[in-house]
Amino acid sequence: MGLIEIASGNSVWRGLNYYNDKKVLSWQKSGTEEYVGTVAGSNGKKYTVHIDKAHPRKSVCNCPFADGRRVVCKHMIALYFTAEPQAADAFLKQVEEWEAEEEAEEQERYEDLVKYVKSLSKTELQTQLLNALLELEDRRNRYW
């Protein structure tokens, strides 16, 4: 698993924002698959970041979220995307693919529903509608 897979969704998206906002102040390659850098945080704070792509859980940052923990924070993601911009591009492409798949599945579900509704007789449709309304009413009464 890589940095992106280990990080929370929130850390990845915020790290992408930090990358886009050029919050990585300096960085350098420190090993075959390692980088160190300084990332600007909120309120003018600067954080020292070390990422290890081969062993992502060994990556460290001295921010309050990651300091002393084996987690991937937004500063690590920002450094990763800065050092390897193709990774940011690949991530965004993957997101676009997921969204396209989700949209296609949603369209298919809609078409299946339309087909099902059109297959019902008037009486069956009325019965299904009444049952759905009663179920909604029952749920509303349980939660209110």
Q: Say how far apart CA 62 and CA 82 lie, in whole Å.
A: 18
Cβ-Cβ contacts under 8 Å for 58 (sequence gap 6 or more): 52, 70
Cβ-Cβ contacts under 8 Å for 49 (sequence gap 6 or more): 35, 36, 37, 38, 39, 59, 60, 61, 75, 76, 79
Residue 129 has pLDDT above 80, yes or no: yes
Confidence of residue 58 (pLDDT cuts 50, 70, 90): very high
Q: What percent of the chain has pLDDT over 70?
A: 100
Collapsing DSSP states into helix, strand and coil, what is residue 41?
A: coil
Rounded to an integer, what is the distance from CA 112 to the centroid of its chain?
29
Rounded to an integer, what is the distance from CA 88 to the centroid of its chain?
13
**Residue length, the chain?**
144
Confidence of residue 143 (pLDDT cuts 50, 70, 90): confident
